[in-house]
Structure 1
């Protein structure tokens, strides 16, 4: 049997015998909530008691890295260098999770206990991102078990703060760029388009959060005594927000309307099925001239994440002096990130909304990235996934969500390829997060086949060959 066939058989046996379930249960059991103060010590536990031993068993040299940025969690650089002449792959993963939302899970489910139900593995982090990096590491384990070597060099950059915006990640990439040198970046996060078909994406939409604030006066004043005499900040804010899009969500700020949805990108997106979210989508929302795929993968979208004026839970008969809306723009390549908020300011002023302030919260926004779709690495990966799964992978120019891909594409200058091992309905930031068992098994085989193909053939033709490891 070939390396590929033998490695696939080994990976399938590991999964079918319960090895993957047991390993995932151990990872899910760590309450590594980066959004909650009580989760801080568990971030170190996850890294030091689970990921480092797993990688050291696979022959990786591991080094914990720090960042000079305040609030940054621990980072890990692990590498297995077999020969400087071989291609080098860099991957990424994160072991932190969002808040558990423990009181909102279905009866019988606990966020930090793995439960098997209805063909799914339930648990916080099962889909985002513990199950995904476990799949990739176990695919490497299958190659090593069969031939005692990888046949390529492999580096891992692992973080514990992705769910709070990856503070320090860019700093780590800048300071350790030489150690992170590679030929290609291949990692897994985010959802597939369809649970049954592998997906490839080469970048992500950017994400910029900001608050719109109307602050007119201290305290609230009786709505009967002062109604008609005091401006209402909630009404002022509502009109300002309504000027940003029309009634179906079409963006009205010219600088927020991208020019990068070219015919070649449209052609790629036209081959995609509709997103399988597990719930009904709204076909009449967003840019009317675009398909649904074009709206989420090739266009910008504005969202109001939360709004508040007064106390909605216990309203009183008073005109509040303050109103705030937490807002977000998801944007594709071609949108000038530094011009997003200045353009908004000009728009609001031109519409007469001069009393509306713009506040950018702390944190580093995600930049938009996208790889040239003719890159030879992308062809190699797509062909390998199709060979294993029997399905032509769905190819996205970029993910609709945001990832810190600019750290790898821009700072490190690598071709970036993401192979997600989840699906849109996995509840990744909600109660009842889960990973479909059949998807996890197929993903493990796909990654095993990919690594076997790289071991057998090396870097694709026409790809730049790097020698610095």
Structure 2
């Protein structure tokens, strides 16, 4: 087997004949739930007993860092260096999954036993992220079997804490920059634009969560005796939220927005349709910035959402004005948004509108990052996927959600290409998470084609580093 098409045929047959399902079932069986510290041994076992042997069979030298620096995250680095003069690809995957939600799956499915129904393969981690990193591992395996070499160097980084915010990942990458050095980052996580659309996204929106609290008094007072005389914290809080975002989802504080929508981003998003999947909710007309398309709102702009809010006990209300009210808000933001002093910006806006009694406190924050849609590596990868599938490749500047892309783009300084093998309706993080068999099949084909183009065909934008010697 020495050509691209034959390689892709073999990968498709592997899915059709059940080989991929069998291997994925063995990975899903590991209960690698990172939100439960009792699963730490299981997480480490996934790295030592499943991933490291797979990599070593492919000629990788592996090194595992359990509970690195005494923290909650474990890491695995696998390196296969064929020739320092060849391009080097850094790939990534995460071993951990969210809670299994046992007892909540349809038909009493066990979330840690992979089961098939039609084109859906149900199991926790099937889509996020075990099925996705298995696609990439198998594509490397098939290329090696066909040619005896990859034609490029590969570094694989696995972590076991992505679902809890990737603790220590940035510090680990900074401390291991030499081992993780590469020319391009290509990995798989998150969803495509839709099940039918081969997709490349180039980064992720950032997020800042903050709390607004109106803590006015320690006691609740009778609403008949004191209504109209003392400030109601719930009414105050609702009005304070309206200072930041109006009742139609439009952000009102300029400091919570990016300076502009870059032309390259606008061009990349032109004509893209979002929310068209069979399981997607209906989009509300009149919600969000009316000057932006839906695709621009979720992939190119910021959104401020109320995640939770409350006062007293809504399930058991009494005739009393509560003493306190609070809400958790989250700003999803794109590159260019200044969020370093977000708490001060929010508090200043509240103060200026007469709500100094409402206090803002930032809780968590993660950065936004992306590369330019016209980067040569993006154009190369998009053409490779188009050749493999015969379909146009969707380019998203970033996904609407979060991934630790800043670690690879900012800390390691790499062009970042994410090629997802899932879709928006996969129900990741919920009961009935599933991987679609057609996406797994197509994903394996397109990764075989991409790796072939990177190594055997050698038509990537890679430029060998020129070493300068001095007399």
TM-score bracket for this pair, using the shorter chain length? over 0.9
Distance in structure 2 (CA, Å) of the matches to 1:103 and 1:313: 25
Corresponding residue of 2:388: 388
Secondary structure of 2:296's match? Answer: helix
**How far did 1:366 drift?**
2.1
Residue 240, structure 1, aligned to residue 250, structure 2:
no
Tell me which of 332, 335, 338 is aligned to 1:336.
Answer: 338
**How far did 1:262 drift?**
2.5
Q: Is the 8 A contact 1:86 1:467 kept in 2?
A: no
Distance in structure 2 (CA, Å) of the matches to 1:439 and 1:392: 15
**How far did 1:255 drift?**
1.2
**How far did 1:106 drift?**
1.3
Corresponding residue of 2:322: 320
**How far did 1:212 drift?**
1.3
Corresponding residue of 1:449: 449
Distance in structure 2 (CA, Å) of the matches to 1:68 and 1:41: 14
Corresponding residue of 1:428: 428
Greater CA deviation, 340-349 or 157-166?
340-349
- 1:133-212 paired onto structure 2 within 5 Å: 133-212=133-212
**How far did 1:342 drift?**
2.2
Secondary structure of 2:185's match? Answer: strand
Distance in structure 2 (CA, Å) of the matches to 1:69 and 1:63: 15
**Are the structure 2 counterparts of residues 191 and 84 from structure 1 closer, same or farther at C-alpha, using a change threshold of 3 Å?**
same
Distance in structure 1 (CA, Å) of the matches to 2:215 and 2:71: 29
Corresponding residue of 1:292: 294
Q: Is the 8 A contact 1:67 1:171 kept in 2?
A: no
Q: Is the 8 A contact 2:15 2:440 kept in 1?
A: no
Corresponding residue of 1:354: 356
**Are the structure 2 counterparts of residues 350 and 175 from structure 1 closer, same or farther at C-alpha, using a change threshold of 3 Å?**
same
Q: Is the 8 A contact 1:210 1:328 kept in 2?
A: yes
Listed one character per residue, the Cα deviations across residues 81-132 of structure 1 (whole Å, up to 9, x for unaligned) are 1111111000111111112222322123221111111310111111111111
Q: Is the 8 A contact 2:68 2:75 kept in 1?
A: no
Distance in structure 1 (CA, Å) of the matches to 2:315 and 2:159: 38
Q: Is the 8 A contact 1:206 1:402 kept in 2?
A: yes
Distance in structure 2 (CA, Å) of the matches to 1:224 and 1:173: 60
> Structure 1 length as normaliser, TM-score?
0.94
Q: Is the 8 A contact 1:222 1:319 kept in 2?
A: yes
Corresponding residue of 2:399: 399
Distance in structure 1 (CA, Å) of the matches to 2:325 and 2:346: 18
**Are the structure 2 counterparts of residues 308 and 36 from structure 1 closer, same or farther at C-alpha, using a change threshold of 3 Å?**
farther
- 1:400-419 paired onto structure 2 within 5 Å: 400-419=400-419
Residue 273, structure 1, aligned to residue 276, structure 2:
no
Distance in structure 1 (CA, Å) of the matches to 2:117 and 2:403: 30
Q: Is the 8 A contact 2:273 2:294 kept in 1?
A: no
Q: Is the 8 A contact 2:144 2:150 kept in 1?
A: yes
**How far did 1:373 drift?**
2.2
Q: Is the 8 A contact 2:90 2:156 kept in 1?
A: yes
Residue 114, structure 1, aligned to residue 128, structure 2:
no
Greater CA deviation, 178-187 or 24-33?
24-33
Corresponding residue of 2:312: 310
Unaligned runs of 5+ in 1: none
Q: Is the 8 A contact 1:67 1:172 kept in 2?
A: no
Secondary structure of 2:388's match? Answer: helix
Distance in structure 2 (CA, Å) of the matches to 1:313 and 1:467: 69
Secondary structure of 2:106's match? Answer: coil
Secondary structure of 1:264's match? Answer: helix
Distance in structure 2 (CA, Å) of the matches to 1:459 and 1:465: 13
> Structure 2 length as normaliser, TM-score?
0.94
Q: Is the 8 A contact 1:87 1:459 kept in 2?
A: no
**Are the structure 2 counterparts of residues 458 and 339 from structure 1 closer, same or farther at C-alpha, using a change threshold of 3 Å?**
farther
Q: Is the 8 A contact 1:132 1:420 kept in 2?
A: yes
**How far did 1:71 drift?**
4.4
Distance in structure 1 (CA, Å) of the matches to 2:109 and 2:61: 37
Greater CA deviation, 171-180 or 68-77?
68-77
Distance in structure 2 (CA, Å) of the matches to 1:260 and 1:460: 32
Corresponding residue of 2:40: 40
- Backbone CA RMSD of aligned residues: 1.9
Q: Is the 8 A contact 2:199 2:419 kept in 1?
A: yes
Q: Is the 8 A contact 2:12 2:441 kept in 1?
A: yes
**How far did 1:459 drift?**
5.9
Greater CA deviation, 285-294 or 32-41?
32-41
Greater CA deviation, 216-225 or 7-16?
216-225
**Are the structure 2 counterparts of residues 336 and 67 from structure 1 closer, same or farther at C-alpha, using a change threshold of 3 Å?**
farther
Listed one character per residue, the Cα deviations across residues 307-329 of structure 1 (whole Å, up to 9, x for unaligned) are 12223333344333222211110
Q: Is the 8 A contact 2:308 2:327 kept in 1?
A: yes
